[in-house]
Amino acid sequence: MPDPVTLASHALPPDPHKLPPAGEWFAPDAERHLLDRPKFCPMCGESLERGLTSEWWTANERVFLTWCAACRWTGNVVRFDKAIIEEPEH
Ligand SMILES: [Zn+2]
């Protein structure tokens, strides 16, 4: 029988990003959110683990309201599949 110290050293820490049960209607969206959300602040580059990222959708765009605990930047990060960009003549 393994001693309790050996078992404790292999125990995983609690998951801070717990997913809902797989059968819930929003489970696939929750999973995509964890995979696709911004991981680093677009302003200072620090990890957003201590910040806030909330997601909503506008048509086909996924909008991540983001707050950075390191520099206090707040803004939207938008994921999209295609972009139409107009470039002025020069
Ligand atoms: Zn920042």
Tell me the CA–centroid distance for residue 66 and ligand 1, in Å.
10
pLDDT band at 4 (very low <50, low <70, confident <90, very high): low
Model confidence pLDDT, tens digit, residues 16-58:
678 888 899 999 999 999 999 999 999 999 999 999 999 999 9
On whether the pTM is more than 0.85, the answer is no
DSSP string, 9-21: HHPPPP-SSPPPP
* Helices H / strands E in the chain, number of each: 2, 3
How far apart are the CA of 88 and the centre of ligand 1, in A?
Answer: 31
The residues spanned by each domain of the chain are 37-81
Cα(85) to centroid(ligand 1), Å:
27
Percent of the chain's residues with pLDDT above 70: 86
